[in-house]
C-alpha cells in the first residue's frame, strides 16, 4: 500500500514539474526572445556598421555554431 502511494506521488510530482517547467520556459522565451536577423542588423547599425546580408548571415551562422544548433 505504501509503495503504491509513493509511486503515485512520484508520477504526480514528475507530471507537475514538467508542466511548471514548460510554463516557465514559455514565459521566459516570450520575455527574452532569441536573437534573430533583424535584432542583429539593428545592433550592428547602433555600433556604426552598415550590415550587409552576407555579414548578417555569417554572424548568424557563427552564433548558431556557438550554441550548438
Q: What is the CA radius of gyration of the chain?
A: 21
**Measured distance CA(52)–CA(23) in Å, rounded:** 38
Q: Quick one: 28 and 50 in the same domain?
A: no
Whether residues 44 and 60 fall in one domain: yes
Structural domain harbouring 48: 35-69
Instruction: Record the pTM.
Output: 0.55
Same domain membership, residue 17 and residue 1: yes
**DSSP per position, 1-65:** -HHHHHHHHHHHHHHHHHHHHHHHHHHHHHHSPPP-HHHHHHHHHHTT----HHHHHHHHHHHHH
Instruction: Please report, in tens digits, the pLDDT of each residue of the chain (69 residues total).
Output: 999 999 999 999 999 999 999 999 999 988 887 888 888 999 899 999 888 999 999 988 988 888 765
Query: How many domains does the chain divide into?
Result: 2
Amino acid at each position: 500500500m505504501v509503495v503504491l502511494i509513493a509511486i503515485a506521488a512520484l508520477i504526480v510530482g514528475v507530471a507537475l514539474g514538467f508542466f511548471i517547467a514548460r510554463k516557465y520556459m514559455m514565459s521566459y522565451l516570450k520575455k527574452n526572445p532569441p536573437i534573430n536577423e533583424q535584432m542583429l542588423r539593428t545592433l550592428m547599425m547602433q555600433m556604426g556598421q552598415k550590415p550587409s546580408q552576407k555579414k548578417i548571415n555569417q554572424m548568424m551562422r557563427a552564433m548558431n555554431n556557438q550554441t550548438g544548433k
